[in-house]
Structure 1
């Protein structure tokens, strides 16, 4: 009896792994990046340049957003990035760029400002149109009022864009 218990403890994980391999006929799309792409249908992805339609314009914003999304797709999927007409296609525009006070001190002075960026994204999946969407994404970072926006943009824009790209990527490619 005492020999059976350790044997059972060793066999249980092996049986579990064997059962998982036996169920291997099921189609599961999984990756460590969280992307769920049907590579049998989709081979390419394209990202159109995100134009800046916001009232306030930061010159680095459009190229930073476009490049960051393209880089994430290239590094975290097996899709080939093409200039246009990809099996998966991203396009859109920056529709909001604003800095507003968010933290007021006892003297009614702002101590923190918030830079908010809003992007409208259109995602087209040519082979699985049920995943197509047009959606607005928004994100922000706070900064001290002692710093001018023009001084803070170089740090804030990449931080906000990274969060926006993560949100866009997850919405388009994480079909949980």
Structure 2
């Protein structure tokens, strides 16, 4: 009887630690890939803001590197992310009494094509979009633009991560 009292807790501890290896805090679970590749996202929007395509590509690479143990590669990746920026739009959101914009909205849309070379049923083609509201007195340059891009790209890259790796 004394042996059973010691064996049962030992078994429970082993099962607990064994089950933790399948899940991690990013929600990616066990991946069937070792490498990922993020191809350069071209800017095909009608209104062009120079440099945002590079900023977005690097933001997506950084997020995946920081939240997984996958290795970044330039070619032949197990997971391939590619696409383009399809929309960059500034729209007035609210007006003042003298018919001027009190608030503007910057909206950016990205078309993603994701390919998992090890598991083709995970392949995905989807459009992602998010926005940032700023004062009508401000212009989308300098710190306003930097903040807007940080907010928008953080949301879009996190949505891409969730759809392709976390499966949330």
Task: Report TM bin, short chain.
Answer: 0.7 to 0.9
Closer/same/farther in 2, CA of residues 87 and 27 from structure 1, 3 Å limit: farther
**1:137 corresponds to 2:131:** no
How far apart are the structure 2 equivalents of 1:146 and 1:99?
A: 13
In structure 2, the gaps of 5 or more residues are none
Selected match of 1:111 from 97, 102, 107? 102
The TM-score, its normalising length taken from structure 2, stands at: 0.84
Give the match for residue 8 of structure 1. none
Of residues 145-154 and 55-64 in structure 1, the stretch that sits farther from structure 2 once superposed is 145-154
Alignment correspondent of 2:85: 94
Q: Please list every run of at least 4 consecutive aligned residues from structure 1 whose deviation after the TM superposition is greater than 4 angstroms.
A: none
Alignment TM-score, normalising by the size of structure 1 = 0.81
Give the C-alpha shift of residue 147 in structure 1: 0.5
- What's the C-alpha RMSD, in Å, of the aligned pairs? 2.5
In structure 1, the residue matched to 2:156 is 164
Report whether the alignment pairs 1:57 with 2:55: no
CA shift for structure 1 position 134: 0.3
Q: Any conservation in 2 of the 1:64–1:158 contact (CA below 8 Å)?
A: no
* Pairing of 1:1-176 with structure 2 (within 5 A): 18=12, 21=15, 24=18, 29-38=22-31, 41-151=32-142, 152-176=144-168
Q: Conserved in 1, the CA contact under 8 Å of 2:93 and 2:104?
A: yes
Contact kept in structure 2, 1:37 and 1:173, CA below 8 Å: no
Q: How many residues align?
A: 160
C-alpha distance in structure 2 between counterparts of 1:159 and 1:135, whole Å:
20
